[in-house]
Structure 1
Amino acid sequence: MIDQVTTYAKAIVSKKILASKKVVQACKRHLKDLEKSEQDDFPYYFDVRKSEAVIKFIGSLPNPDDGKPMTLINYQAFIIGSLFGWKKKETGYRRYTMAVVSMARKQGKSIIVAGIALYMLRYEKTPLVARQIYTAANKRDQAKVTFNYAVAFLDSLRKISKYFRQHTRIKRDEIEDVTSHSFIKPLSKDTKGIQGLNALLGILDEQADSNDCSVLEAIQKSQRQQEQPLTIVISTVSTNVNGWFHEKEYRYATQVLNGEIKDDSYFAIWYEQENEEELQDEKTWIKSNPILISKKISKKLLPKLREDWERAQSMETTTSSKIFTFNMWQQASEDSYISVKEWANTLVEDKPNLYGRDVYLGMDLARVGDLSAVSWVVPIEEENKFYVDGHGFVGTRGGIENKIQRDKIEYSMLHKRGEVTFSNLQSGNIDDQQIIDYIYNLINEYHWNVIGICYDRYSANHIIDTFNEDGFTMIDVAQGYATLSEPTKQFRKLVQDKKIMHPDNRMLEIAVNNSVVKSVNDAIILDKTMYRNKIDLLAALLDAFTQAYNHDFSTSYSKDDDYYENQFHF
Structure 2
Amino acid sequence: MTWDVDHLADINAYCNDVLTGVKPACRWEILSVQRHIDDLQKDEEFPYIFDESKALKIIRFVELLPHVKGKWAAGRGTSKRIRLELWQKFVLGALFGWVHKDTGLRRFRVAYICVPRKNGKSIIAAGIGLYMLTEDGEYGAEVYCGATSEKQAWEVFRPAQKMAERTPAFRRAYGVTSHARRLECDKRGTKRLPDNSRFEPVIGKPGDGASPSCAILDEVHEHTDDVLYETMITGMGARDQPMLLLITTAGNHVAGPCYSIQQDLQSVLEGSIQNDELFGIVYSIDKDDDWTSEQSLIKANPNFGISVGSDYLKARLRDAVQSPRQQNSFKTKHLNVWVTAKSAWLNMVEWNRQADTSLQLEDFVNDPCYKGLDLSSKLDITSNICVFERMLEGQRHFYIFGRHYLPEERIQEDNNKHYQTWEHQGALIPTDGETIDYDLIQSDIENDVRDLGVRALGFDPWGATQLAQNIQGQQPDLDVIEVPQNYSMSDAMKEFEALLKDGRIHHDGNPALTWMMGNVVAKEVDDGKKIRPVKGDREAKIDGAVATLIAFTIALTGKEPTTSIYETRDIRFL
Q: What is the TM-score with the length of structure 2 in the denominator?
A: 0.63
Out of 294, 306, 316, which is 2:314 matched to? 306
Between the two proteins, the alignment pairs up a number of residues equal to 442
Give 1:158 shift: 2.0
Q: Secondary structure at the match of 2:232?
A: helix
The alignment status of 1:29 with 2:35, answered yes or no, reads yes
Give the Cα–Cα distance (whole angstroms) in 2 for the partners of residues 280 and 540 of structure 1. Answer: 27
Give the Cα–Cα distance (whole angstroms) in 2 for the partners of residues 490 and 253 of structure 1. Answer: 43
1:504-538 CA deviation, whole Å, 9 max, x = no partner? Answer: xxxx98x77643479xxxxxxxx976369547855
Partner of 1:57 in structure 2?
61
Partner of 2:199 in structure 1?
184
**Counterpart amino acid of residue 373 in structure 1:** D
Q: What is the TM-score with the length of structure 1 in the denominator?
A: 0.63
Give the Cα–Cα distance (whole angstroms) in 2 for the partners of residues 237 and 492 of structure 1. Answer: 32
**Counterpart amino acid of residue 175 in structure 1:** L
The alignment status of 1:237 with 2:250, answered yes or no, reads yes
Q: 1:30 to 1:393 in 2, by over 3 A?
A: same
Q: 1:314 to 1:364 in 2, by over 3 A?
A: closer
Q: CA RMSD in A?
A: 5.0
Partners of 1:390 and 1:541 within 8 A in 2 = no
Q: 1:387 to 1:21 in 2, by over 3 A?
A: farther
Partner of 2:380 in structure 1?
373
Give 1:183 shift: 0.8
Q: Secondary structure at the match of 2:59?
A: helix
Overall identity of the aligned pairs, in %? 22
Out of 121, 129, 142, which is 1:132 matched to? 142
Give the Cα–Cα distance (whole angstroms) in 2 for the partners of residues 11 and 118 of structure 1. Answer: 30
Which ranges in structure 2 are unaligned for 5 or more consecutive residues?
Answer: 187-192, 353-372, 385-401, 418-429, 446-457, 470-479, 524-530, 551-574
Q: 1:453 to 1:53 in 2, by over 3 A?
A: farther
Which ranges in structure 1 are unaligned for 5 or more consecutive residues?
Answer: 343-361, 378-385, 395-414, 420-437, 444-448, 466-475, 503-507, 519-526, 547-570
Larger radius of gyration: 2
**Counterpart amino acid of residue 54 in structure 2:** K
Partners of 2:406 and 2:431 within 8 A in 1 = no
Out of 12, 15, 25, which is 1:9 matched to? 15
Partners of 2:408 and 2:432 within 8 A in 1 = no
Partners of 1:364 and 1:372 within 8 A in 2 = no
Partners of 1:6 and 1:30 within 8 A in 2 = no
Give the Cα–Cα distance (whole angstroms) in 2 for the partners of residues 92 and 201 of structure 1. Answer: 18
Give the Cα–Cα distance (whole angstroms) in 2 for the partners of residues 311 and 182 of structure 1. Answer: 47
Out of 182, 198, 212, which is 1:199 matched to? 212
Give 1:161 shift: 6.3
Give the Cα–Cα distance (whole angstroms) in 2 for the partners of residues 374 and 312 of structure 1. Answer: 31
Q: Secondary structure at the match of 2:148?
A: coil
Q: 1:273 to 1:533 in 2, by over 3 A?
A: closer
Partner of 1:215 in structure 2?
228
Give the Cα–Cα distance (whole angstroms) in 1 for the partners of residues 237 and 532 of structure 2. Answer: 46
Partners of 1:61 and 1:157 within 8 A in 2 = yes
Give the Cα–Cα distance (whole angstroms) in 2 for the partners of residues 264 and 388 of structure 1. Answer: 45
Give 1:115 shift: 0.5
Partners of 2:48 and 2:100 within 8 A in 1 = yes
Q: 1:227 to 1:162 in 2, by over 3 A?
A: closer
Partners of 2:383 and 2:547 within 8 A in 1 = no
**Counterpart amino acid of residue 205 in structure 1:** D
Give 1:252 shift: 2.4
Give 1:389 shift: 9.2
Give 1:12 shift: 0.5
The alignment status of 1:111 with 2:123, answered yes or no, reads yes
Q: 1:150 to 1:94 in 2, by over 3 A?
A: same
Partners of 1:62 and 1:68 within 8 A in 2 = yes
Partners of 1:338 and 1:492 within 8 A in 2 = no
The alignment status of 1:324 with 2:329, answered yes or no, reads no
Deviates more, 1:222-231 or 1:535-544: 535-544
Give 1:337 shift: 7.8
Give 1:329 shift: 3.1
Partner of 1:399 in structure 2?
none
Give the Cα–Cα distance (whole angstroms) in 2 for the partners of residues 55 and 88 of structure 1. Answer: 20
Q: 1:307 to 1:417 in 2, by over 3 A?
A: closer
Partners of 1:373 and 1:540 within 8 A in 2 = no
